[in-house]
Amino acid sequence: MGKVILGIETSCDETAVSLVEDGRKVLISLLSSQVDLHRIYGGVVPEIASRRHLELIFPLLDEAFRNFPKEKIAAVAVTYGPGLVGALLVGLSVAKSLSYALNVPLIGVNHMEGHIFANFLEDAKPVFPALVLVVSGGHTDLIFMRGFGDYELLGETIDDAAGECFDKVGRVLNLPYPAGPVIDRLSKKGKPIYKFPVARLKEEGYNFSFSGLKTAVRVFREKNPDAKVEDIAASFQEALVRALVENTEKALRDYKPAKLYLAGGVAANSKLREEFLNLGKTYNIPVHFPSLQYCTDNAAMIAAAGYHRYLLGKFAPLNLNAYPSLML
Ligand code: KG4
Ligand code: ZN
């Protein structure tokens, strides 16, 4: 038996626990999604999220430890930011208590690093330097990764995150939250016949901007109430993915990485995955993205990132705090 890390994730609206052996072998990955609870509000309500984590986390831990005695875990890895502070505090408090009671190290994991490590749960051949596009509900980061733990932020969004843009456009189109997967599905039945603008920032660099695109879709919808939702969805998705791919391609040419990775909830998007595979072919470099279940929030990715820190002996003190705006 290798080293089994318990991963705990409560940064937003998914309560998740996982047991991962040696950073790769997922023994169990459990998730209690709260999306149904938040859907009626059209987004995550922080206080409801915290309270729900409190109710859900121990049943999940009970289930995780049903076939694996908790005394055998090597460490507890927990997300300590970025995320909703009240939600983070639930996972942190539980993780600390377990670490204290079982006398095993506590490991603090950055949620975004977790998303990146979702790739290494399955990628048998990590290659560096790599270019990583992390696209989630709160982040749109283009990262040059020289090795595990070595990240250079090349570009980020100056306004809305890619996932946030999907969700806001979903509201304009009267789609349920979270709208990303719904728009993905609708797009397959529509055609990208409308040309929505892709913001090209004047400054040098690799930053993104999505608020203009969101507004363009809203204005279009108001002026064309009879346009098919499927066609609007496909046109919007086309424009957003184009923006992501253009900057990624620019960085590919400038930095010449050895591998291309995609991470975060929006990495589940079928059009984006397809375009990344095309980039790989054009530039003749390998491409990897996590399987769908590890793109969106989960605890296996937190355990995987935790295992890397475990090997380096990077443990957290028991007074570790939550950091809503933690940087990579
Ligand atoms: O990484 P994640 O689960 O949570 C955060 O850390 O934010 O990402 C959630 C985001 C949501 O905005 C959701 O709409 C989006 O990922 N998403 C998608 C797809 N699946 C989830 N966006 C586009 N296409 C998808 N298939
Ligand atoms: Zn996330």
Q: How far apart are CA 304 and CA 292, in angstroms?
A: 16
Residues, CB-to-ion distance under 5 Å, ligand 2: 136, 297
Residues with CB under 6 Å of ligand 1 are 12, 136-138, 163, 166-167, 178-181, 184, 264-266, 268-269, 296-297
Q: Which domains does the chain have, with CATH numbers?
A: 4-115+295-312 (3.30.420.40), 126-285 (3.30.420.40)
Is the ipTM reported for this complex over the cut 0.95?
yes
Give the pLDDT band of residue 198 (cuts 50, 70, 90).
confident
Q: Inform me whether the pLDDT recorded for 253 exceeds 90.
A: yes
Tell me what pLDDT residue 10 has.
98
Amino acid identity, position 203: E
Instruction: Please name which of 268, 224, 256, 42 lies closest in space to residue 134, comparing C-alpha atoms.
Output: 268
The confidence score (pLDDT) of residue 82 equals 98
Average pLDDT over residues 26-51: 91
pLDDT of the residue at 37: 87
pLDDT above 80 (res 200): no
Asked whether the predicted pLDDT for residue 59 surpasses 90, the reply is yes
**DSSP letters along 94-110, please?**
HHHHHHHHHT--EEEEE
Q: Whose Cα sits closest to atom 24 in ligand 1?
A: 269
Nearest Cα residue to 123 out of 291, 270, 305: 291
What is the chain's alpha carbon radius of gyration, rounded to the nearest angstrom?
20
- Check: pTM over 0.95? Answer yes or no: yes
Q: Which two tokens stand for residue 261?
A: 């990775």
Average pLDDT over residues 240-264: 97
In the structure, what pLDDT confidence band is assigned to residue 54 with cuts at 50, 70 and 90? Answer: very high
Sole residue written with tokens 């010449």: 256
Cα–Cα distance, 8 to 266 (Å, whole number): 21
Half-sphere exposure of 35 (CA within 13 A, CB side): 11
- Distance in angstroms (rounded) separating the CA atoms of residues 287 and 263: 12
Return the pLDDT at 40: 86
